[in-house]
Amino acid sequence: MRESASTFLTDEEKTRIEDAVREAEKRTEGEIVVMVVAESHHYPLSGMIGGILFGTAASLSAALFSGYDSMWHFLGFFVPSFALCSEIVKRWMPLKKLFVSRSDMEEEVEEAAIGSFFKNRVYETGNHTGILIYISLFEHRVRILADKGISSRVDQSRWDAITALITQGIKEKKQASALCGAIQRCGELLEEVFPASEDNTNEISDSVLIGRSLKGDGS
């Protein structure tokens, strides 16, 4: 039931994206990294809240229909009902979303994207010209993080436009084409402020990162 990061892109689509990264980086000193995760956090409270609500409803129904309506019988029904309902909520993504607020999603995606930026050493380029395109499937969120060498010289609205391009492409099930277009635009922005030098080297792998979330078990 979990949205799988490993099936978000086919092998052929990953190759297209990696080729797009290589082409974009030929024109600039910048480095572009694409990362996809199933979710940015496992949101443990969603299972607990869902388990309590659905477990209580199931236990009350079972107690009433069975005729065993004492508190002890209710608790006997509730314990297994809570465990089962909690597990269902955790594994069924559309149901799980009912128990996660938009603000929590925004906060967790932002934190996980920043963590991934550092974990994958996007900040270690010579001129601080790394870019991370971070896609979190459960939350339906895209973040573009640019290192300090770029962020101070490119207006945020231009990154927002690229983010919107990717988001729309994912909605239309054209994620590979949208990412290739976004990478091309990133390359154009980078070329404006950090055009390629004669000794331009590839400092970070061009491979698409299919990763586990930093704070959960998304894969």
For 20-78, what is each residue's pLDDT tens digit?
999 999 999 899 999 999 999 989 889 889 889 888 888 778 767 776 666 666 677 78
Answer for the pair 116, 134: CB distance below 8 angstroms, yes or no: yes
CATH, range 5-41+101-211: 3.10.310.50
Beta strands 209-211 and 141-146 are unpaired
- Residue spans per domain, the chain: 5-41+101-211, 44-97
Q: d(Cα 168, Cα 67) in Å, to the nearest integer?
A: 53
As a three-state string, the secondary structure of 34-48 is EEEECCCECCHHHHH
Query: Given a cut of 50, is residue 167 above it in pLDDT?
Result: yes
pTM score = 0.84
Distances (CA, A) of 109 to 38, 54, 112, 180: 11, 27, 5, 22
Share of the chain above pLDDT 70, in %: 91
